[in-house]
Structure 1
């Protein structure tokens, strides 16, 4: 059940991303409690401070909030906020380079749309 981590990215960012993924895909719903830093540390066999850093990153982004003495919970509106963030990330990571390459190859937007709709043919 233990998942491995990507060596190319800090573990705390990967912890935050996994929590985000669970919120986006509905495995963890708004208002639900997320595992504690100690639970993350034990499950992934990492330092609790590393897990806390990932969780605190989401608190700073208002994805999670703390109930004193109880734990961390998913904030209202967190899923919508995360989806919006991921859409922007998708655009920057995939669409901008696609459009730059299409311009270089002198492909029109209609040709790009046709390629997408028809699976690669122009």
Structure 2
């Protein structure tokens, strides 16, 4: 992954999101030791404090837990927590923006739902 230092999201948030994606992809398992801030700093050529801030963000969200003297580890239900967080935050925001745009374009609720169903069907067919 490549970080975007000029992007809208702070680097530490990008680090946290990358780690979440690694957990969701199964590259980092439940109860597995997480990368240290120094490993992340080396991987992404960033300041260790920035990497530590990304790790602490996930610890604050109860996705990681600390073992004194051993580092941080992934909680057993990390995948479920990340999925729930993304549904309640990211997806909700996207739906709010979609509904607002549909209203601006005078698209009815029925038309919008039909568009969503059509796209879901297309995606299912593509993946088969």
Gaps of 5+ in 1: none
Alignment pair present for 1:5 and 2:3: yes
Tell me, in whole angstroms, the C-alpha distance in 1 between the residues paired with 2:118 and 2:2: 37
Tell me, in whole angstroms, the C-alpha distance in 1 between the residues paired with 2:45 and 2:103: 47
RMSD: 1.6
Aligned pair count reads 117
C-alpha displacement of 1:100: 1.4
Larger mean CA deviation between 37-46 and 90-99 belongs to 90-99
Tell me, in whole angstroms, the C-alpha distance in 2 between the residues paired with 1:93 and 1:118: 21
Alignment pair present for 1:63 and 2:51: no
Q: Give the SS at the match of 1:96.
A: helix
Tell me, in whole angstroms, the C-alpha distance in 1 between the residues paired with 2:98 and 2:35: 38
Tell me, in whole angstroms, the C-alpha distance in 2 between the residues paired with 1:103 and 1:64: 40
Correspondence list, 1:10-21, <5 A: 10-21=10-21
Tell me, in whole angstroms, the C-alpha distance in 2 between the residues paired with 1:118 and 1:55: 39
Task: Return the TM-score normalized by structure 2.
Answer: 0.81
Tell me, in whole angstroms, the C-alpha distance in 1 between the residues paired with 2:90 and 2:12: 21
Tell me, in whole angstroms, the C-alpha distance in 1 between the residues paired with 2:106 and 2:62: 43
Q: Give the SS at the match of 1:62.
A: coil
C-alpha displacement of 1:4: 2.4
Tell me, in whole angstroms, the C-alpha distance in 2 between the residues paired with 1:13 and 1:58: 9
Tell me, in whole angstroms, the C-alpha distance in 2 between the residues paired with 1:13 and 1:118: 34
Tell me, in whole angstroms, the C-alpha distance in 1 between the residues paired with 2:118 and 2:13: 37
Gaps of 5+ in 2: 120-128
